[in-house]
Structure 1
Amino acid sequence: MNMKQVRLPQFHDRAESVWAQFLQALPVIVFFLIMFYSVIFFFGMEYTTIASLVTVIFQGNYKKRKVPTVPLISLLLQQLLLLGLAYIATWNIVLSLILNLVVPFWLIFTKASQFNQLGYFSTLMTFTFMQFIPVDWNGFVIQFEAMTFCCIFVFITIKLYHQMNRGKLGICTERKVMHLLGCILEKFLNDDDISSDLKELFHLQRLLYQEANDKRGKRHVVTTAGKLQYMFAILIQRTTYLVSNQSKVLRPVDEESRKLALDLAEYMQKAGEIDFLSGNRAKTWTLMKEGRRLLAEAEKEKDIFHRHVANFFRMFLFILHQAEVREQGILSEQWEVPAKHRFKERVLAHFRPDTFEMRFALRMSIVLMAGMAFNLLFYDEHSYWFVMNAFLLLRPMYEDSNYRMRTRFLGTAAGCILVALVLPLCGSSIASHLIIAGIMVSCMYTATPGTIVHALFVTCFALSMTTLAMGETMAVFLRMAYIVGAVLFVLVINRFFFPTSLGSQVRYNFQLLFHMHHMYLRMLEDLLTNQLDYWRICDAQIQYHTVLAQIRNDLPQVEKDEKDREYFNKILNITWCMASEIQQMFFQVKHKKRGIEARRIMEQYISYTDYVLNQIQEMLHLKKEKKLKNIEGMKYQRYIEGEPELSSLMTQYARNLSRLYVLVLRRVR
């Protein structure tokens, strides 16, 4: 009796969880079923693969808060282009090898990165799956018509879904951050605990940079929307830095200052209720008016607290103004990436054996070339199951791929057993098979992708359709034979052809993180004599914070020991502070021309910092920088006469660098 009482609540909780997953997946399930049965009705059962392909696009876009029309149309047109390339690839073995080498490189290089590892998936899936069953010209025309029909339906459905659920898709990150900042400041003034709020603030601050990274432009470093998000990310990073490291700055010295701080907290929370980056003047006018009033109040005093409050309002009001005039174009020549640099960074930089994109593109090309060659040379109705499973099992990271090999094999075996038990009870009519397929699809989209349960329902869905044309025994045998072949093939590719493990990627990212600190110092040195390149600063900051976020995300999976995780997190925390300080130095340096002595002090400060950073990299067994100045005979100084703010940042940066050196040295010893 006691055992039943224990199990019943667990069963109830599990049932509630599954029901919640089903409701969450319901829009995708309904979309697929409409597409699936529509394609069968209008074009024929042999074209149902297209329904799965467009469902992936719908699934990846329908929940987004904003889906711009032009990028969505571009994505759908790309599906039609890839359909045409897939058709050409089935003409002969030579074209198959060439296109299955070139297309994966194109899609992985342009759509995927270590920060968006599966960005290639929906497009490369279309190119791959549409090669499975070669068709003649008439068959291709029907495929093209079916794909066009489905793409139009995707576009209309996503736009209608967003129109109907405009207020239910969540608020933007900017609003969340502003509201949270207001709450933190209010709690801080009342001496309440803010540790959990700070943790969430750091998470949202990293998310802002990641969202700005997703809005990179073709000619400019970012799009108009990306520039607004980037500027807001800088503002929040500075504010986060002050809240977490310089809390004494925010401590008001008198009652009047306390009132201003409370007004600032209230202002931030109000901003969190308004979509202030939308460019809608009606929504932002009140914010701008109140912000100008508080700015004028902050400018009355010159102490450090009022100065930081005034700096916040100046930048926030500038962002609001930029959002308001965005239609007139806010991307100047200073934000345009030179053509030479675009080619170097977006093309040549990927063609290195240590990059994520190069290593994964090589593995994917080998899999598709070998798999499609096998499909063409030994073609039967289901030989494509081999390359299909290999494509789905090959993942950017070795660990993820191995996990999916286990779950896919076990799920396929379980699915074959279930089909062997269920299908004989349901008759052999087409209608019964289609009904079972619909039920299996509903379960498939409810299950978590990559799990055994998901693979089980994928197998049941596939076999419920396959057994219309062949016996159950043969279908089950082929399904298991091809999954075993695909697992062994991918296992060899992952082990011996340009493997990329999570641990090696984290180490590569640590190397990149320190390299970027050196690059920051080079940029700071260049600013002493030259103008600020906004595109270069923007590009560096976005990359730095996305790399940092990726390390934080992957570290718990790589470092299982709690002490090791704590050690590396301390390194990340210190380097984050250093990045925040040097980024503020950029804007301090750019606003004032300096004399020879001030430039000499800064240059020597930078050279010493470079040297110490290199020593830390050596202790961490990371690759050292090649081009560093000889510091022999140089005088180290971190104060410049007449520049208290810059000197304060230089001092704080040096202290953090010293903390980092001591932390790593103690570990080494």
Structure 2
Amino acid sequence: MADDQGKQKQQAASAARPPLTHVLAKLLRKTLPASAFFMVLFWTISGLFGIAHVIPALCYTALFNSRLHAYNSPAQYAHFFGMSILTLVAARIATLNIPLCIVTNIAMPFVFLYMRSSQFTPMRYYRYLMLFVFLQLKPQLLDNFWKELMVIGTCCIALTVALIIAGRVLHTSDQCTARLHVLINQLADTLEHLSNKASSNAPQDEFLQLHADFVKLTDNARKNAGVNPRMRVVLDMYAMLAERTAYLVGQFKWDENKTSSYAADLHKLAELTRKASYSTKSVQRSEAITHAEALLSEAHTIQDEDFRRFFCSYLHMILLVLREPNQHTNRLWRMSPRLRIRVASFYKHPSISSFELSFSVRCAIVLTVGFTISLAFPISHLYWFPINAFLLTQPYPAESMRRMRTRTLGTVLGCLFVHMLSTLSLPLWAVLAVCMILVMGRYASTQGKIPMAFFGSSYALSIVSLSTGERYAIFMRLVCLIAAVIFVFIVTRLIVPTSDRALFRANLDELFTLIESYWALLRASLHTNINAVTSSEAIWHMHTVHAQADSYVNALPQSTSEGKNYHDAAQHVLACQRKLTVGLEQLNYFIRLDGASKQEYPTLEQFMTIAEACSNPFVADKRLETAENLVGKLQEEELRALLNQYLTRAKSLATALDHLNETASACLKAR
């Protein structure tokens, strides 16, 4: 009997496992575009300029891979050329002499890391910083600057042409729109199915899942600088609609005995949502807006007060979505609110405990020391020391430690492979053919794993062995790797140590900076139209920082009473911050829907000024009592409720912060 059950489990597992042909086809689809691009670029550069100039091909293949499934605007193609020229000029300056090498290698990590990356997009810098590193590997090639400029120009042209062709073949510009239509229709279907649901959390769960799908699509668009701005607005607005609908569904008590009576009205909302899905043109939007306004005017006929509130709230939100693309941000001759958020985001980083500054300093130390040694001692292939050190320096120290193991093992295996290959005494064409196969293996592998290190090391050693003795190349590769591992370990653990607790405190400080900036944004919205993406990006950043801090708190040990107290206190602070952020978001929606009259704007602005002043550093002092008196002067009931709710939550957060500081001190004493 047991044997039969075992056989059944094996058969079920075999049935669930995809056929080998499907696995191979998927692997080929993943590998072929990057491998084909690299091979074309490799042979193009080799034929035009010589095999010594093929080093940038790896960097541009990485760029091609990162942009393959993204929307690429004309500005993005121009960006390739501009950033490449900047990188080439910086590399040329760095190879002139040791003082310039030190200055440039300190500066460039800050240009690409500190200015362009965050703990949520840590690898955004990678391709251009990688190009800067690779261009320094052979300083003698940069002596002929104009020739190297032509090499870089050829790479940029090849990258542009390849991405344009890939965009036509893969229809990347249409994928975002197609996915948006699918999600909006799912939203409409879920609305229509609400009347069939029993009283449970299922409807809210479905909307929350839709919200997560919208957010994923929106995040991809936000991280992709080339996405059409209008599309980014639409994506943000629908993500907001799904989240708000989930909230409304959760607030509304779905009575199992009444759900069938809501069917007709829910069908109207679903029909409007489907119409909104294809309202991409001005005329279509106007028709959808007219339809929504007509439904809103009929809402008073709904007898159930709670459902009428849900019905009207959804209509208000979808009207906001439909009207947003017609809104224009006033271009005033002053710093825009969006720019203010970006400036605030820049000034949040100066602490060494912050991710951006810590990572920038580690990379600057590694590149400066590595390339100074390489430039000072003209030893053949000593450049493998800085390149290995750079590749081992990862955004998070734990990943650097893991790469030390995987890269070491992969390199050793690669050295053994090249040694065995050399015993075959293959002709040049055969060695190059093997190199192309190794490249395909490299792009089929997962980043940071042993296979990728093996294929990368084997490719590099095979190319170098064409002009240098195989034994010397293997010796230098291993010596430079060992030196790089020791050096990066010292930098990561001793010189610039980064603790999770320090990053958690930095995240808390950043949250308060963003709350302060968001109040400034809300004040500005009283006087001018603020693009939805601007406020949405601020809220998204708050949620993302909160999620990062929450993951740290969830991983805290609770084996001791002090540890459990600190865990509970930190969790309470984050819960209070989350509630505060949700309140700000609700206030933003309320203002955007013209919920407050113009006559109340002066009093509301005074409240916002006080709240902004108390946000960073976050305090609950007598100024909040003044703000509480201002709330009493407002006539709009819902506005008063929102502001009083903020004051209550602000006081709770201030108390929670004091308790967190006390428990942190107790933990330090216990150690």
Shorter-chain TM-score range: 0.7 to 0.9
Choose the corresponding residue for 2:170, options 160, 165, 169.
165
Provide, for residues 174-207 of structure 1, a one-character-per-residue CA deviation record: whole Å limited to 9, x for no partner.
4455334334333433216246534423424544
Choose the corresponding residue for 2:154, options 144, 149, 152.
149
Aligned residue for 1:333, secondary structure, equals: coil
Provide, for residues 418-437 of structure 1, a one-character-per-residue CA deviation record: whole Å limited to 9, x for no partner.
22233423x33211111111
What is residue 397 of structure 1 aligned with on the other side?
A: 396
- Shift in CA distance, 558/628, structure 1 to aligned 2, threshold 3 Å: closer
Aligned residue for 1:63, secondary structure, equals: coil
Q: What are the within-5 Å matches in structure 2 for residues 61-80 of structure 1? A: 61-64=67-70, 66-80=71-85
Q: Contact 1:129–1:388 (CA<8 Å) still a contact in 2?
A: yes
What is residue 547 of structure 2 aligned with on the other side?
A: 552
Residues 1:203 and 2:202 aligned together? no
Kindly state the Cα deviation for residue 351 of structure 1 after the two structures are TM-superposed: 3.9
Q: What are the within-5 Å matches in structure 2 for residues 402-551 of structure 1? A: 402-425=401-424, 427-502=425-500, 504-514=502-512, 516-517=514-515, 531-532=526-527, 539=534, 541-551=536-546
One-letter amino acid of the structure 2 residue matched with residue 62 of structure 1: L
- Shift in CA distance, 545/506, structure 1 to aligned 2, threshold 3 Å: farther
Residues 1:241 and 2:247 aligned together? yes
Instruction: Measure, in 2, the Cα distance between the counterparts of 1:522 and 1:250.
Output: 41
Provide, for residues 590-610 of structure 1, a one-character-per-residue CA deviation record: whole Å limited to 9, x for no partner.
73256799879x959987x99
What is residue 617 of structure 1 aligned with on the other side?
A: none
Instruction: Measure, in 1, the Cα distance between the counterparts of 2:225 and 2:502.
Output: 27
Q: Contact 1:224–1:330 (CA<8 Å) still a contact in 2?
A: no
What is residue 384 of structure 1 aligned with on the other side?
A: 383
Instruction: Measure, in 1, the Cα distance between the counterparts of 2:14 and 2:302.
Output: 62
Kindly state the Cα deviation for residue 409 of structure 1 after the two structures are TM-superposed: 1.1
- Shift in CA distance, 157/261, structure 1 to aligned 2, threshold 3 Å: same
Aligned residue for 1:118, secondary structure, equals: coil
Q: Contact 1:444–1:457 (CA<8 Å) still a contact in 2?
A: yes
What is residue 261 of structure 1 aligned with on the other side?
A: 266
Instruction: Measure, in 1, the Cα distance between the counterparts of 2:42 and 2:367.
Output: 26
What is residue 38 of structure 1 aligned with on the other side?
A: 44
Kindly state the Cα deviation for residue 446 of structure 1 after the two structures are TM-superposed: 0.5
Instruction: Measure, in 1, the Cα distance between the counterparts of 2:439 and 2:618.
Output: 53
One-letter amino acid of the structure 1 residue matched with residue 463 of structure 2: M
One-letter amino acid of the structure 2 residue matched with residue 494 of structure 1: T
- Shift in CA distance, 232/347, structure 1 to aligned 2, threshold 3 Å: same
Q: Contact 1:416–1:459 (CA<8 Å) still a contact in 2?
A: yes
Choose the corresponding residue for 2:106, options 101, 108, 114.
101
Q: Contact 1:398–1:501 (CA<8 Å) still a contact in 2?
A: no
Q: What are the within-5 Å matches in structure 2 for residues 585-604 of structure 1? A: 585-586=587-588, 588=590, 591-593=596-598
Q: What are the within-5 Å matches in structure 2 for residues 580-619 of structure 1? A: 580-586=582-588, 588=590, 591-593=596-598
What are the ranges of 5 or more consecutive residues in structure 2 without an aligned counterpart?
559-563, 667-671
- Shift in CA distance, 538/74, structure 1 to aligned 2, threshold 3 Å: closer
Choose the corresponding residue for 1:48, options 36, 44, 54.
54
Instruction: Measure, in 2, the Cα distance between the counterparts of 1:632 and 1:497.
Output: 47
Provide, for residues 466-486 of structure 1, a one-character-per-residue CA deviation record: whole Å limited to 9, x for no partner.
111222222211111111111
Choose the corresponding residue for 2:130, options 125, 143, 158.
125
Kindly state the Cα deviation for residue 264 of structure 1 after the two structures are TM-superposed: 1.3
Choose the corresponding residue for 2:96, options 84, 91, 96.
91
- Shift in CA distance, 445/376, structure 1 to aligned 2, threshold 3 Å: same
Q: Contact 2:411–2:478 (CA<8 Å) still a contact in 1?
A: yes
Q: Contact 1:182–1:264 (CA<8 Å) still a contact in 2?
A: yes
One-letter amino acid of the structure 2 residue matched with residue 145 of structure 1: M
- Shift in CA distance, 595/6, structure 1 to aligned 2, threshold 3 Å: closer
What are the ranges of 5 or more consecutive residues in structure 1 without an aligned counterpart?
615-622
Relative to structure 2, which stretch is displaced further, 561-570 or 358-367?
561-570
Relative to structure 2, which stretch is displaced further, 409-418 or 353-362?
353-362
Q: Contact 1:241–1:580 (CA<8 Å) still a contact in 2?
A: no
Aligned residue for 1:382, secondary structure, equals: coil
Number of residue pairs matched by the alignment: 639
- Shift in CA distance, 232/454, structure 1 to aligned 2, threshold 3 Å: same
Q: What are the within-5 Å matches in structure 2 for residues 196-235 of structure 1? A: 196-204=205-213, 206-207=215-216, 210=219, 213-214=222-223, 226-235=232-241
Q: Contact 2:188–2:271 (CA<8 Å) still a contact in 1?
A: yes
Aligned residue for 2:139, secondary structure, equals: coil
Instruction: Measure, in 2, the Cα distance between the counterparts of 1:518 and 1:433.
Output: 61
What is residue 636 of structure 2 aligned with on the other side?
A: 643
Instruction: Measure, in 2, the Cα distance between the counterparts of 1:190 and 1:348.
Output: 51
Instruction: Measure, in 2, the Cα distance between the counterparts of 1:359 and 1:46.
Output: 35
One-letter amino acid of the structure 1 residue matched with residue 29 of structure 2: L
Provide, for residues 285-332 of structure 1, a one-character-per-residue CA deviation record: whole Å limited to 9, x for no partner.
765565455444447669564455445445534544553x58xx6554
- Shift in CA distance, 101/228, structure 1 to aligned 2, threshold 3 Å: same
Instruction: Measure, in 1, the Cα distance between the counterparts of 2:602 and 2:93.
Output: 67
State the percentage of identical aligned residues: 23
Kindly state the Cα deviation for residue 494 of structure 1 after the two structures are TM-superposed: 1.2
Kindly state the Cα deviation for residue 79 of structure 1 after the two structures are TM-superposed: 0.7
